[in-house]
Amino acid sequence: MKSLFFLVIIHSLYGNIQAKKFSVLRISPSTRADVEFLQEIRTKDHDLDFWKGPTEVNREVHLMVDEAQKAYIERTLERHNINHTIMIPDVERVIVEQKKKRAKLNSELRLRDWRDGKINFNLAQYHSFADVINYLNALAVTYPELVSVQPIGTTHEGRQIPLIKVTNKRLQSGNKKAVWVDGGIHAREWVSPSTVLYFIHTLITQYDKDPKIRQYVDSMDWYLVPLLNPDGYEYSRSSTNPEIRLWRKNRSPTKCIQVASGPFTPPQQQCCQGVDLNRNFDWFFGQVGSSTDPCSEIYQGGFAFSEPETRAVRDFLAQHRITTFITLHSYSQILMYPFGHQVRTYSNDLNDLHATATNAANALRSMYGTQYRVGTGADTLYPASGGSEDWAKGKAHVKYSYLFELRPEEQVWDGFLLAENQILPTARETWEAVKVIADQSLRLQ
């Protein structure tokens, strides 16, 4: 008995020593020099996880740090007179609390899928990869005239990436417009797969009820991939440890690099897993806003399309004529169009892309008042090469290519840890924007 008691004490002490505590700092650069200083930190220190990177004067920066990093960063900020507050004092506590809350969910927010009571899937919750697969398969069985499910690739860990096609199969036509929607390219951005699932649900269950949806499903092919990065997603679900819940990349095998040595220290190896899939597309690959360091959050991979997930997108788009490419991320509330690899770089149909984005953002706002900014990724956030929306426009020649950074906005404190009661409002308002983009595609010759 006594020894058990000691064991418990030792175990909890050990646990305290082992578990890293993470917090998120809210940093407010007030001069151009502040912004540039933070940008320099971001490019130099690849271990830092900027939830929201530095972009412009007076725009908040969110930075997740462990305790050692926190002490060092706070000292540095104070030395440079850059204001900051603590946005999340203990990230893991928030993750654990939200997990508890999930059990007693507001039943009003539940939205079910059914036909003859066959499918029971709560769209107001975050789901496992297995549950998503089962849901998609149930839709294919229940609505065979509208739905087919197929894998478009296999990940490093052997998961099949599912794509669901929604169209009225009885109306065959060679020139249906085709829309691509993907979610979950970044593992921790959980609201994005949930939003794609809501789109799927809406297209299928509103077919008989809403003439506009009927038009979409009759005259367009909808290709939806709710979980483009299932390995990363499952990893991010596997623990409340912030280093795991806030995983961004895929789960590609470990790669090592030599790190610079000091005069008395031998060169050391640093080994890490995962490629940032949204740096791995063949569009100015390896240039600004991506990294060759496997331990970086924005590690670009060995070469363009080195990853099975990005190759799956490339190969699918090579075989299908896609008019509209939509990719969902979180967070910041921005609707982006190409090109994001460097500032002030646009396609020659900029006016059309911009006007459509503005109309889409207005439609989105009309639902709950949610404000979006509109522009290229480089102009609104930061330049990043190798992004999918750029590649889709520049290399795959998709006419309308958009990236959504979904809720929350920057003043909200929870960032990637968006509460489940936000899923349906987020999905509903985003669908209003997607409809505007789809309507625009229907107008093409």
Which positions touch ligand ARG (CB under 6 A)? 278, 329, 336, 340-341, 377-378, 381, 383-384, 387, 390, 403
Q: Specify the residue, 23 or 327, whose C-beta has the smaller distance to Zn ion.
A: 327
State the residue for tokens 């330049």: 383
The vertex-224 CA angle with 222 and 226, nearest 5°, equals 160
Q: Specify the residue, 70 or 186, whose C-beta has the smaller distance to Zn ion.
A: 186
Active site residue 410: no
Closest approach of Cβ 279 to ligand ARG, in Å? 7
Closest approach of Cβ 2 to ligand ARG, in Å? 54
Q: Which of 63, 70, 65 is nearest to 29 (CA)?
A: 63
Q: Name the β-bridge partners of 373.
A: 334
Convert 338-376 to b/e letters by CB count within 10 Å (16 or more is b). Answer: bbbbbeebebeeeeebeebbebbbebbbeeeebebbbbb
Tokens of 236: 């991010």
Query: With CB cut-offs between 5 and 8 Å by kind, which of Zn ion, ligand ARG, none does residue 153 bind?
Result: none
**Contact range with Zn ion by CB under 5 A, out of 106-114, 143-151, 185-193, 259-267:** 185-193
- DSSP H or E stretch at residue 373: strand 373-376
Closest approach of Cβ 406 to Zn ion, in Å? 10
Query: With CB cut-offs between 5 and 8 Å by kind, which of Zn ion, ligand ARG, none does residue 251 bind?
Result: none
Residues in contact with Zn ion, counted by CB under 5 A, come to a total of 2
State the residue for tokens 């789960």: 251
Q: Specify the residue, 290 or 324, whose C-beta has the smaller distance to ligand ARG.
A: 290
Q: Specify the residue, 77 or 227, whose C-beta has the smaller distance to ligand ARG.
A: 227
User: Binders of Zn ion among 32-71, rule CB under 5 A?
Assistant: none
Q: Specify the residue, 135 or 387, whose C-beta has the smaller distance to ligand ARG.
A: 387
Query: With CB cut-offs between 5 and 8 Å by kind, which of Zn ion, ligand ARG, none does residue 384 bind?
Result: ligand ARG
For residue 165, count CB atoms less than 10 angstroms from its CB and return exposed for 0-12, middle for 13-18, buried for 19 or more: middle
- Of 26, 70, 177, 186, the residue at the interface with Zn ion (CB under 5 A) is 186
Closest approach of Cβ 386 to ligand ARG, in Å? 8
Distance CA 278, CA 280 (A): 6
Distance CA 49, CA 274 (A): 14
Q: Specify the residue, 177 or 188, whose C-beta has the smaller distance to ligand ARG.
A: 188
* Percent composition of the chain: helix, strand, coil (DSSP 3-state, to 5): 40, 20, 40
CB-CB neighbours of 270 under 10 Å: 14
- Exposure on the CB side of residue 9, measured as CA atoms within 13 A: 6
**Three-state secondary structure string covering 81-101:** CCEEEEEECCHHHHHHHHHHH
- Of 188, 329, 341, 407, the residue at the interface with Zn ion (CB under 5 A) is 329
Tokens of 372: 């979006």
Marked catalytic residue, from 234, 307, 405, 429 = 405
Query: With CB cut-offs between 5 and 8 Å by kind, which of Zn ion, ligand ARG, none does residue 361 bind?
Result: none
69, 242 in Cβ contact below 8 A?
no
Closest approach of Cβ 229 to ligand ARG, in Å? 12
Closest approach of Cβ 296 to ligand ARG, in Å? 12
Q: Specify the residue, 241 or 342, whose C-beta has the smaller distance to ligand ARG.
A: 342
Helices (H), 320-422: 350-368, 377-380, 388-394
334, 378 in Cβ contact below 8 A?
no
User: Binders of Zn ion among 105-144, rule CB under 5 A?
Assistant: none
CB-CB neighbours of 59 under 10 Å: 16
Query: With CB cut-offs between 5 and 8 Å by kind, which of Zn ion, ligand ARG, none does residue 213 bind?
Result: none
Tokens of 87: 């946005």
**Contact range with Zn ion by CB under 5 A, out of 182-190, 342-350, 351-359, 361-369:** 182-190
Distance CA 350, CA 213 (A): 28
Query: With CB cut-offs between 5 and 8 Å by kind, which of Zn ion, ligand ARG, none does residue 341 bind?
Result: ligand ARG
Q: Specify the residue, 123 or 336, whose C-beta has the smaller distance to Zn ion.
A: 336
Closest approach of Cβ 339 to ligand ARG, in Å? 7
Query: With CB cut-offs between 5 and 8 Å by kind, which of ligand ARG, Zn ion, none does residue 340 bind?
Result: ligand ARG
Closest approach of Cβ 384 to ligand ARG, in Å? 4
**What are the angstrom distances between the C-alpha of 100 and each of 23, 132, 193?**
20, 21, 21
Query: With CB cut-offs between 5 and 8 Å by kind, which of ligand ARG, Zn ion, none does residue 308 bind?
Result: none
Cite the active site residues.
Answer: 405
The residues that touch Zn ion, with contacts defined as CB under 5 A, are 186, 329
